[in-house]
C-alpha cells in the first residue's frame, strides 16, 4: 500500500509543479503583452506636436506586444534625431531637446518625458520665383507668380515651399508645357543666421497641342461621339478638357466604361494624340424603396434603354408609388447640337396625388420639350397637352383638357456637362394657359426656388432656402389642382404636415330636408393662389459624418400677399453619407394661421441627395 501511494504522490507533485510553471509563464507573457509606453511631450502643441508624434519610433511601437528593455532603449536613443527631423519642416533648425525615461512601474508601463525648447525659427530672406520660355506670360503661370504664398520675413515652412514648386510643375503638365523643367530648385538655410533663401526657376518649353483623336467604340456613330469632345484637334493641350470629355461620355449613359488617354507626345510637332476606348452599356433596371414623413412608404421602378440606335436616342420609363402620390413617366430623348447639353424630348407623364386633406388630382401630360444651355443657365421649353381631373369640396369634380406652354430657367455650375443636379442655386418656371387653349380661366403661374449653403467655417454651415409662387387668376377654384400652391412638410415649413398649409374656405354643408336645421359650414383647404416660404438653418459638423442643426422656417400658401404666415423652429440631427444626407428634425410651430391651436412638436425624416 505505501509503495503504491508514493509514486502517486510524486506524480501529483510533478503535475502541480508543471501547472504552476505554466501559470507563471502565462503571467509573464501577459505582463509583456500588456506593457506599453506612456509619452509626455512638453513645449509644442497642435500641428507641431502631431508631427513629432508621427515621426517618433517610440509612438509607433508603444503598444507593441513584446517590449524588451533593450528594444525600448534603442527606440529612446532615436528621440533627438527624430524630433529635430519633425521640427525642421516648420523652420525650427536649432531646438533644445531633453528627455528622460523611467523603468516599468508595477503596471508594466514605461514612462518617457520629452521637453522641447523650439529656439529661434528660421525666417525667409530672399525669395525668387521665375518662369522663363515661350509660356512665361501665360496666365496659368502668372496666376502663380503674382500670388506667391511665401514672403520675405515669413517663417520658413517646407510644406509651403513644396506646394509652390508643385503648383508650377502641375500647371505645366496640365496645360501642355510637357517639356517644362526646373532649372533651379533650391532652399538654402543658414542655421547660424536663422535665414533662408528660396530660388525657383522654371523653363516652360513649347506648349503642345491636341493631335488626332482615335475612337474605339461601337455604340453610336463616331461623328456623333466627336460632338462630346470638349476640345478640337489643334487646340492647346489641356488635361482638364480630357477629364471633362470623359465625364461627358460617362454621363451620356451609352457606355459601361470609358477611357480617354493621352498618347506618346510628338516632340517635333509638339502634338499629343488622344485615344478613346469605350465599352457599351446595357439596358438598366432599378428597383428601390424608402420612407419619408411627407410621402410615407414609397417605391420606385425604372427601365432605362441607354441607346436605341446609332444616333444616340435614349428611352426611360419610371414609376413611383407612395401613400400620397403615384406617378408614371416615360421619355424619349433625342440629343442634338452639343449632345452633352442639348436634347429634344417627348415625354408622357401621369400622376395621381392627394394635396393636403381635401384635394385629389389626376393628370396626364404629353408633349415635346427642348433643353439647352445658355452660359450658366439651363433653359427648358415645353408645350404639354394636359388632361386633369380635380376633386375638391368647393366645385366637386372639375375636368379640364388644355394646352400648357412652359419655360424653365435654372442655374447650372461652371463646367456643367448635363449630369443630374440634386439641388440648384436658382430655379424659375413660368407656365400658363388661356380659355382658347382649353383652360377654364386664363392663368399665368410663376414658381421661383432658391437655395444656398454658406460655409461659415470648416465646421459651421448656413443653409438659406426660399420659394416664391404667384398665380395670376381671378378665381382660384378654376385653377387645376396640380397648379395650386400648398405649404408644409420636410422641405417647406416644418412643424406642419405635408401640404397642410393652405387658405381656408368655408363650404356650406349639404342641403337638409325641410324643417331640418342646416349643417354648419365646413372649413376646407383647397390650395392657394400664391406661396411664400423661407428657411434659415445653421449646421455644425460632428465627428464620424454626424451633424446637428437648428432652424427657423416660415411661410404659407395664401390667396393674398398680405395674408398671415406660419412660423416654426426646431433642431435636427444629420448623418452625411457619400451621396445622401439623412436628416431627422423635430419642429415646433410658433404661429399657425387657420388652426384652432398650435400643433404639437412634429418629427420630420428627410433623405436628400448630396453631391
Asked if residue 225 and residue 342 are part of one domain, the reply reads no
Distance CA 556, CA 554 (A): 7
Residue pointed to by grid coordinates 465599352: 279
Q: What is the CATH number of the domain that holds 521?
A: 2.40.160.50
pLDDT tops 60 at residue 139: yes
315 occurs within a structural domain: yes
What is the per-residue pLDDT across 57-78, written as a single tens digit (0 to 9) for each?
Answer: 999 888 776 678 888 899 999 9
| pLDDT at residue 179 greater than cutoff 60 | yes
Tell whether 405 and 357 lie within a shared domain. Answer: yes
Percent share of the chain, pLDDT over 70: 93
Domain that includes residue 227, residue range: 209-280
In a shared domain, residues 298 and 406? yes
The greatest distance separating any two alpha carbons of the chain, rounded to the nearest whole angstrom, comes to 125
Is residue 9 very low, low, confident or very high in pLDDT (cuts 50, 70, 90)? very low
pLDDT tens track for 269-292:
999 999 999 999 999 999 988 888
Long-range contacts of 269-273 (CB under 8 A, 24+ apart): 269/211, 270/206, 270/207, 270/208, 270/209, 271/208, 271/209, 271/210, 271/211, 272/176, 272/178, 272/208, 272/209, 272/210, 272/211, 272/237, 273/211, 273/212, 273/213, 273/214
pLDDT at 353 over 80: yes
Lowest mean pLDDT among 248-262, 301-315, 333-347, 578-592: 578-592
CA-only gyration radius of the chain, Å = 36
Q: How far apart are CA 137 and CA 131, in angstroms?
A: 8
Q: Residues 405-423: pLDDT tens digits?
A: 999 999 999 888 888 776 7
C-alpha cell recorded at residue 10: 510524486
- Same domain? For 276 and 306 the reply is no
How confident is residue 4, by pLDDT bands cut at 50, 70 and 90? Answer: very low
pLDDT of 22: 39
Q: What mean pLDDT do residues 570-577 have?
A: 93
- pLDDT level of residue 516 (50, 70, 90 thresholds): confident
Among the ranges given (2-6, 86-90, 172-176), the one the predictor scored with the smallest mean pLDDT: 2-6
Give the single-character DSSP code of 80: H
DSSP string, 208-271: PEEEEEEEE-SSS-HHHHGGG-SS-TTSBP-HHHHHHHHHHHHHTSSEEEEEEEE---BTTTTE
554-566 mean pLDDT: 95
Average pLDDT on 165-184 reads 97
Band of pLDDT at residue 502, cut at 50, 70 and 90: very high
Strand order in the sheet with 271-280: 209-216, 271-280, 255-262
Residue 96 has pLDDT above 70, yes or no: yes
Q: Is residue 6 part of a domain?
A: no
Q: Is residue 317's pLDDT more than 80? A: yes
For residue 26, what pLDDT is reported?
40
> Where among 251, 280, 309 does a domain terminate?
280
Flag whether 16 is in a domain.
Answer: no
According to the model, what pLDDT value does residue 523 have? Answer: 87
How many structural domains compose the chain?
A: 4
Residue 2 domain-assigned (yes or no): no
Q: How confident is the model at residue 431 (pLDDT cuts 50, 70, 90)?
A: very high
Q: Is the pLDDT score of 11 beyond 60?
A: no
Strands 284-292 and 296-305, bridge-based pairing:
antiparallel
Q: Tell whether the model's pLDDT for residue 506 goes beyond 50.
A: yes
Statement to judge: residues 333 and 477 lie in one domain: yes
- The answer to whether residues 161 and 272 belong to one domain is no
- Say if residue 458 is in the same domain as residue 487: yes
CATH, residue 261: 3.10.20.310
Q: Are residues 274 and 309 in the same domain?
A: no
> What band does 393 get if pLDDT is binned at 50, 70 and 90?
confident
Does residue 5 sit within a domain?
A: no
What pLDDT is attached to residue 337?
93
Question: For residues 433 and 404, is the Cβ–Cβ distance under 8 A?
Answer: yes
Q: End of a domain among 117, 143, 164?
A: 117
380 shares its domain with 461 = yes
**What's residue 517's pLDDT?**
76
Residue finishing a domain among 203, 238, 259: 203
Tell me, yes or no, whether 17 lies in a domain. Answer: no
Residue with the larger pLDDT of the pair 110 and 230: 230
Q: How far apart are CA 499 and CA 533, in angstroms?
A: 12
Mean pLDDT confidence for 571-600: 91
Same domain, 487 and 535: yes
Query: What is the C-alpha to C-alpha distance for residues 547 and 581, in angstroms, rounded to an integer?
Result: 10
- Asked if 411 and 432 sit in the same domain, the reply is yes
Query: Quick check: is 8 in a domain?
Result: no
Q: CA-to-CA distance for 444 and 469, rounded, in angstroms?
A: 11
Kindly state whether residues 239 and 296 are assigned to the same domain. no
In this structure, is residue 1 part of a structural domain? no
- State the chain's mean pLDDT as an integer: 90
Burial of 61 (0-12, 13-18, 19+ CB in 10 A): middle
21 band by pLDDT with thresholds 50, 70 and 90:
very low
Residue 512 has pLDDT above 50, yes or no: yes
Amino acid at each position: 500500500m505505501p509503495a503504491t501511494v508514493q509514486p502517486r504522490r510524486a506524480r501529483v507533485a510533478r503535475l502541480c509543479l508543471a501547472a504552476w510553471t505554466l501559470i507563471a509563464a502565462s503571467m509573464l507573457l501577459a505582463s509583456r503583452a500588456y506593457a506599453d509606453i506612456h509619452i509626455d511631450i512638453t513645449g509644442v502643441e497642435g500641428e507641431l506636436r502631431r508631427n513629432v508624434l508621427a515621426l517618433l519610433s517610440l509612438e509607433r511601437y508603444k503598444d507593441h506586444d513584446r517590449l524588451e528593455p533593450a528594444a525600448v532603449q534603442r527606440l529612446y536613443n532615436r528621440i533627438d534625431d527624430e524630433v529635430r527631423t519633425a521640427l525642421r519642416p516648420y523652420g525650427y533648425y536649432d531646438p533644445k531637446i531633453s528627455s528622460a525615461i523611467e523603468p516599468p512601474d508595477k503596471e508594466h508601463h514605461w514612462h518617457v518625458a520629452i521637453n522641447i525648447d523650439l529656439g529661434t525659427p528660421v525666417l525667409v530672406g530672399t525669395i525668387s520665383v521665375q518662369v522663363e520660355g515661350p509660356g512665361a506670360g501665360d496666365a496659368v503661370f502668372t496666376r502663380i507668380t503674382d500670388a506667391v504664398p511665401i514672403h520675405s520675413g515669413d517663417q520658413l515652412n517646407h510644406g509651403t515651399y513644396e506646394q509652390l514648386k508643385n503648383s508650377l510643375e502641375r500647371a505645366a503638365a496640365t496645360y501642355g508645357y510637357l517639356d517644362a523643367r526646373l532649372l533651379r530648385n533650391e532652399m538654402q538655410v543658414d542655421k547660424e543666421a536663422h535665414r533662408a533663401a528660396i530660388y525657383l526657376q522654371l523653363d516652360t518649353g513649347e506648349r503642345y497641342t491636341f493631335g488626332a483623336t482615335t475612337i474605339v467604340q461601337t455604340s453610336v456613330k463616331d461623328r456623333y461621339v466627336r460632338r462630346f469632345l470638349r476640345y478640337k484637334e489643334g487646340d492647346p493641350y489641356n488635361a482638364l478638357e480630357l477629364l471633362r470629355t470623359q465625364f461627358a461620355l460617362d454621363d451620356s449613359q451609352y457606355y459601361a466604361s470609358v477611357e480617354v488617354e493621352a498618347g506618346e507626345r510628338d516632340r517635333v510637332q509638339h502634338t499629343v494624340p488622344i485615344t478613346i476606348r469605350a465599352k457599351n452599356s446595357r439596358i438598366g433596371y432599378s428597383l428601390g424603396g424608402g420612407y419619408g414623413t411627407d410621402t410615407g412608404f414609397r417605391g420606385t421602378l425604372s427601365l432605362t434603354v441607354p441607346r436605341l440606335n446609332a444616333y444616340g436616342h435614349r428611352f426611360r420609363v419610371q414609376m413611383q408609388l407612395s401613400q400620397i402620390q403615384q406617378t408614371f413617366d416615360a421619355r424619349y430623348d433625342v440629343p442634338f447640337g452639343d449632345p452633352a447639353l442639348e436634347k429634344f424630348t417627348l415625354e408622357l407623364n401621369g400622376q395621381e396625388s392627394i394635396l393636403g386633406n381635401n384635394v385629389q388630382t389626376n393628370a396626364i401630360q404629353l408633349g415635346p420639350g427642348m433643353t439647352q444651355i445658355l452660359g450658366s443657365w439651363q433653359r427648358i421649353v415645353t408645350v404639354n397637352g394636359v388632361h386633369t381631373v380635380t376633386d375638391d369640396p368647393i366645385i366637386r369634380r372639375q375636368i379640364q383638357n388644355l394646352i400648357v406652354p412652359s419655360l424653365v430657367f435654372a442655374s447650372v455650375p461652371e463646367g456643367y456637362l448635363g449630369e443630374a443636379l440634386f439641388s440648384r442655386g436658382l430655379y424659375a418656371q413660368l407656365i400658363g394657359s388661356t380659355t382658347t387653349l382649353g383652360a377654364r380661366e386664363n392663368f399665368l403661374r410663376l414658381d421661383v426656388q432658391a437655395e444656398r449653403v454658406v460655409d461659415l467655417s470648416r465646421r459651421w454651415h448656413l443653409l438659406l432656402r426660399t420659394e416664391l409662387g404667384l398665380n395670376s387668376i381671378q378665381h382660384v377654384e378654376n385653377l387645376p389642382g396640380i397648379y395650386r400652391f400648398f405649404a408644409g412638410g420636410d422641405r417647406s415649413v416644418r412643424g406642419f404636415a405635408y401640404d397642410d398649409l393652405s387658405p381656408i374656405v368655408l363650404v356650406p354643408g349639404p342641403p337638409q330636408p325641410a324643417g331640418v336645421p342646416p349643417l354648419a359650414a365646413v372649413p376646407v383647404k383647397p390650395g392657394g393662389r400664391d406661396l411664400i416660404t423661407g428657411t434659415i438653418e445653421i449646421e455644425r459638423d460632428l465627428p464620424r459624418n454626424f451633424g446637428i442643426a437648428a432652424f427657423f422656417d416660415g411661410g404659407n400658401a395664401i390667396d393674398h400677399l398680405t395674408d398671415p404666415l406660419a412660423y416654426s423652429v426646431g433642431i435636427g440631427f444629420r448623418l452625411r453619407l457619400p451621396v445622401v444626407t439623412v436628416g431627422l428634425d423635430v419642429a415646433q410651430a410658433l404661429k399657425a394661421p387657420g388652426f384652432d391651436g398650435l400643433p404639437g412638436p412634429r418629427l420630420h425624416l428627410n433623405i436628400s441627395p448630396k453631391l
